[in-house]
């Protein structure tokens, strides 16, 4: 593959479209609320597995180590544009400057409400990851909602 970052983004975009197709099928069978609940639960569980790995890497919750881990170790394969905005003893603000998931949903013609719903589901991986590693996560803004970035505020 000539461009591994493009290949990675394409795989993430494919995942975004899979989420959407699963959501459409589940919504048709079970209704939108139940589809969101079930998908969010499954994606959250995947995040928990990633959070266990994060916890093993960092140890006890430490916001400075978390921020370093957020931007390091990408080996040049950063499809989301990870940045650290702020780190203190009480919080870390981590930023994503792009989102291949939202790009895929834009390309597929999803409405703003549909993109928000899909992001509500997809970001459960982040909640599962960070909560299982001992942090509290709050999104300050999200690209899917029309912001320029996704800003995640993490506290212990």
CATH of the domain at 13: 3.30.1380.20
- Is residue 32 within 8 A of residue 116, CB to CB? The reply is no
- DSSP letter at 109 equals T
Q: Which residues span the domain enclosing 117?
A: 4-155
What are the residues whose beta carbons fall under 8 Å from the beta carbon of 130, sequence distance 6 or more? Answer: 47, 51, 54, 136, 137, 152, 154
| pLDDT of the residue at 2 | 72
- The confidence band for 136, taking pLDDT boundaries of 50, 70 and 90, is very high
Number of domains observed in the structure of the chain: 1
Q: What is the DSSP code string of 61-91?
A: --HHHHHHHHHSS-TT--SS-EEEEEE-SS-
The answer to pTM > 0.85 is yes
pLDDT in tens, 21-63: 999 999 999 999 999 999 999 999 999 999 999 999 999 999 9
């Amino acid at each position: 593959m000539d461009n591994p970052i493009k290949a990675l983004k394409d795989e993430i975009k494919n995942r975004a479209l899979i989420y959407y197709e699963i959501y459409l099928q589940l919504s048709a069978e079970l209704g939108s609320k139940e589809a969101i609940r079930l998908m969010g639960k499954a994606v959250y569980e995947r995040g928990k597995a990633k959070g266990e790995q994060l916890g093993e890497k960092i140890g006890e919750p430490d916001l400075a180590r978390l921020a370093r881990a957020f931007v390091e170790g990408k080996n040049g394969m950063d499809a989301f544009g990870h940045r650290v905005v702020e780190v203190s003893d009480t919080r870390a603000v981590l930023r994503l400057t792009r989102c291949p998931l939202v790009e895929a949903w834009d390309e597929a013609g999803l409405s703003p409400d549909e993109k928000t719903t899909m992001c509500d589901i997809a970001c459960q991986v982040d909640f599962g990851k960070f909560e299982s590693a001992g942090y509290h996560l709050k999104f300050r803004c999200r690209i899917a909602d029309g912001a320029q970035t996704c800003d995640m505020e993490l506290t212990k």
